[in-house]
Chain A
Amino acid sequence: MAVTLTVNGKTQQVDADPETPLLYVLRDDLELNGAKYGCGVGQCGACTVMVDNEAVLSCVTPVLLLEGRRISTVEGLGTMEKPGPMQQAFIEQQAAQCGFCIPGMMMRAQALLQANPTVDEAAVRAHLEPNLCRCGTHMRIVKAVMRAGELMHQSSQSGGST
């Protein structure tokens, strides 16, 4: 069955059973690697993406629910050549060991900061609670998200004046 999805601003048709979790459509049909399979049952956050402005676990979200919604993955935040503020901050803070959990962390944080880039550290920690990291990169992830907030805030300020 054909499903129409809008991912990172691009609308495309994929041929998938409507019950297929978004994760597999992103990875296998759209060849996007950002969302990772970690548990498949909504317990780890490795598959986190944004739908409209919310962080969503793509491993437990059937594509059927997503027609007409705006889906974004870490690939939509920027590229290696032109990293977005969230990516820039994670590179600056060297916030990864294996990195497997990181795209999910970034997408969950993006949803938080898009609503309010000036949140405090406690809010960041509380917001990231659903996402697991096994390498113990937590300290850096929190710092990177705080830094991303700064960068986003700065660019929204300067964006207003130019």
Chain B
Amino acid sequence: MTHSDVKNPTRRGVLAGGGSLVVSFALLSQVLAQEGEVQGASPPAEPRPKLPGSLAGDPFLDAWIRIDGNGKVSVFTGKAELGQGVKTAIIQVAAEELEIDPATIRLITADTGQTPNEGYTAGSQSMQNSGTAIRHAAAQVRDILIGQAAARWQVPIDQLRAENGRVIRADGQALDYGSLVSAEILHVEATPQSRLKPADRFRHMGKSMHRVDIPAKVTGAPIYVQDMRLPGMVHARVVRPPRPGATLVSLDSAEVERMSGVVAVVRNGSFLAVVAEREFQAIKAMQVLEMTARWSEGTKFPKPDGFIQSFKNLPSQQGVVAERSQDGVAAARTFQATFTRPYQIHGSIGPSCAVALLENGTTTVWSHTQGVYPDRAAISEMLRVPPEQVRVIHVEGSGCYGHNGADDAAADAALIAQAMPGRPVRLQWMREQEHVWEPYGPAMLTEVRASLDQAGRIVEWNYDLWSNTHTTRPGPAGSLIAAHSLPTPFQPPPAKLSITPSGNGDRNAVPLYAIPNMRVIWHFLPEMPLRVSALRALGAYVNVFAIESTMDELALMANADPVEFRLRHMEDPRGRAVIEAAAADFGWSNDPLPEGRGRGFAFARYKNLAAYLAMALELEVERETGRARIIRVASAIDSGEVVNPDGIRNQTEGGIIQAASWTLYEAVTFEENGITSIDWSSYPIMRFGSVPERIDVRIMDRPGEPFLGTGEAAQGPTPAAIANAIRHATGKRLYDIPFRAENVKAAIGV
């Protein structure tokens, strides 16, 4: 069962080959056992225990960490920087366990040519998967180097320590890492357990290290894919049909071809693009091309009026998300309500962009995709070439909050590059294309019916949700817009209902509170009249909104304080801790507030298995206009062991503001002929005049606990806290997002 061939030696294979190392490892585990620092699963046995984090998928240490003869350390992650600060956190983790200066690390992120395949950078899982893998790999690499030094000096390893890129022995003699590595030494499989540093010896983890990417971002260094300039590069724009499914009927490209700078009009079936020497030339040519292209009708959009309410009557499949019952409890009072959320956009400030180059039969694509490997699979299928002939390299783009236009732009660029061999093609979407063509966060409708007993405890909870899938990511070529327009088009694969622990449309549909009788059903809508996919937090945004709005109504019925009522039903101590912390930091009370002001509270544990977050906020409703404005927010988050506290704070503040923007302003609008929210004036988002005066984020200290991720934890509690505060301020409950001024005004009836 152990592979001991040279190409794939296991750790034990290598050790058996070098006598002194065996000794040192035996010693090592003795020392570790004494120090009680061993973390992870028990030693290798049959069946093999699972390796920590993404090591399970890519067990070789040198897939993650390499050290050259000069001691220069390279760290490889399959995850991508999306503006969330993951590069910095991974560098902190690696530097900590390797005992080196973080500034000396060279970090290589998602690239199908170089890094492990870690799927998507999504679901707040980068630290759980990649951070965990790299931390363990780094600790094991450090111990291999210590073992090497022990062998060289013929001293027991407990007399050695690693510090600042060197192994040092008691008498002060030192060997640097560069002199201890040799070609194959790190090409070994990781073991399930590692000697991780305890929190009290941390130099980097748990400290707010400055983000490594910020200096470049504030000085205009070329770090975004939008900033790439390759020799001979041309600029491209696509021309999309007026509606999905429309085909190109006729095209007169003669005029465009005569325009200055135009290099080519690329037509492949109904896929249409123009390429020019300079960017503004490409834009002008695109505008002319748009006027001359004639399209078939395509697929009409549904009539918008009452569309979301009609979800209950659309064909659906039922998935049971949770069902538990204990008998013999009598319900005294019941709350029942319907909640909705419209289609919403990711709306990155910079529209999607990609650069592609076809050279020597290989297409290289630089993209801000969340998943270089799945994107490569989709693009190679679309181009009908083997995956090895496509390389996808992640380069940062504008902020990424889920499956946006990145993969589609990558496919567009790859397709255009096929017509321009040898010349790099930079393709960027126009603002309107981003608003209209990116996959939206799905609209949802949910119904809740919950009952209290005489004593004010929740005894029954029924919850039904209607939603499309929240994932139509690549993988298959049919997930790419460009592939739909080819002469032999690829079709989007049919969506499938699946109930998983982390959830999808049903994410966080099950309240974490102690409730004896519960039934939660996902009415899965397979038809997707508007293109949808993952938007930060998936269904958790609306499910937590519905659950936590209901909790407040039940608290009112029970004549209980909303915070106390939540604690009454919360058994998880870490859940209780964030609820108590947020309430304390906010100064939660029942004291009267000035006219028009209200307080709201909300809590969720993201996916019911990741970060805990509770928040309290105060807002003001302007009676004449209905405008709701958040005054202040106090939140508490438990993301497990903390790597970069300021990074957690930054992401949590951002999550709160973004979710507040979704909740107060945002809805995709459409009519049968097409999408009508096409820019920032038809799809307004939060501006400076409306952001809260302050947002506090308390981070719970959880040394030694697994990383839980941070990025999406605030998305669910925010709409609920806002709705609860509006209820408190006005006496009226809002059920339908967004709470735009006119909607609030209508609800409060002034």
Q: Name A residues whose Cβ lies closer than 8 Å to a Cβ of B.
A: 16-17, 20-21, 24, 27-28, 31-34, 36-41, 43-44, 46, 73-75, 77-80, 83, 86-87, 90-91, 94, 96-103, 106, 125-126, 128-129, 131-140, 142
Task: Judge whether A97 and B650 touch: CB under 8 Å.
Answer: yes
CA distance A32 to B220 in the complex (A): 7
B646 engages A38 (CB within 8 Å): no
Q: List B residues at the A interface (Cβ < 8 Å).
A: 82-85, 208, 210-211, 213-224, 226-227, 229, 235, 278-280, 283, 347-351, 396-401, 428, 430-431, 646, 650-651, 653-658, 661, 679-681, 685-689, 691-692, 694-695
Contact yes or no, A75 B646, CB < 8 A:
no
B222 touches A33 (CB 8 A): yes
Which A residues are in CB contact (< 8 Å) with B216?
Answer: 80
Least Cβ–Cβ distance between B216 and chain A, in angstroms: 7
Do B219 and A79 have beta carbons less than 8 Å apart?
Answer: yes
Given contacts A126-B689, A135-B658, A142-B688, contact A100 B218 (CB under 8 A): no
CB within 8 A of B220: which of A24, A38, A75, A91?
A: A75
Distance in angstroms from B429 CB to nearest chain A CB is: 10
CB-CB under 8 A from A24, the residues of chain B are 278-280
A97 and B399 form a contact (CB under 8 A) = yes
Nearest-neighbour CB distance to chain A for B280, whole angstroms, equals 4
Q: Answer whether A20 and B280 are a contact pair too, CB < 8 Å, given A74-B218, A132-B687, A136-B654.
A: yes
Task: List, in ascending order, chain A residues with CB within 8 A of B685's CB.
Answer: 132, 134
Q: Are B689's CB and A135's CB within 8 A?
A: no
Q: Which of B347, B679, B688 contacts A134 (CB 8 A)?
A: B347
Question: Can you name the residue of chain A whose Cβ is closest to the Cβ of B654?
Answer: A136
Residues of B within 8 A of A80 (CB): 215-216, 219, 221
Whole-angstrom CA separation of A112 from B163 in the bound complex: 48
Q: Are the C-beta atoms of B221 and A33 separated by less than 8 Å?
A: yes
Q: Is the CB of B211 within 8 A of A94?
A: yes
Do B689 and A125 have beta carbons less than 8 Å apart? Answer: yes
How many angstroms from the CA of A131 to the CA of B680 in the assembled complex?
Answer: 11
Chain A residue numbers with a CB within 8 Å of B227 are: 33
Min Cβ gap A157→B in Å is 24
Q: Which residues of A contact B82 (CB under 8 A)?
A: 98
* Cα distance A44–B432 in the bound complex, in angstroms: 13
Contact B679 A98 (CB under 8 A): no
Alpha-carbon gap, A13 to B211, bound state (A): 37
B218:A137 contact, CB within 8 angstroms: no
Q: Do residues A100 and B431 form an inter-chain contact, with CB atoms below 8 A?
A: no
Q: Choose from B229, B278, B679 the contact partner of A39 (Cβ within 8 Å).
A: B679
Tell which of B428, B687, B694 touches A139, judged by Cβ atoms closer than 8 Å.
B694
Q: What is the CA–CA distance of A97 and B400 in the complex, to the nearest angstrom? A: 10
Give the chain B neighbours of A79 by CB distance below 8 A: 219
With A20-B280, A99-B213: A83-B218 Cβ-Cβ less than 8 Å: yes
Assess whether B680 is in contact with A43, with CB atoms less than 8 Å apart.
yes
**Could you tell me if A99 and B83 are in contact, using CB atoms closer than 8 angstroms?**
yes
Contacts A40-B430, A97-B85, A129-B688; A136 near B215 (Cβ below 8 A): no
Are the C-beta atoms of B431 and A90 separated by less than 8 Å?
no
* Cβ–Cβ < 8 Å partners of B347 in chain A: 134
Cα(A100)–Cα(B404), bound, Å: 16
* Complex Cα gap A138–B688 (Å): 7
Bound CA span A74–B222, Å: 12
Interface centre among A43, A77, A132, A139, by most B CB within 10 Å?
A139
Indicate if the CB atoms of B83 and A83 lie closer than 8 Å. no
Q: Are A28 and B278 in contact (CB under 8 A)?
A: yes
B210: chain A residues at CB < 8 Å are 91, 94
- Given contact pairs A74-B218, A79-B219, A106-B218, A38 touches B691 in the complex (Cβ within 8 A): no
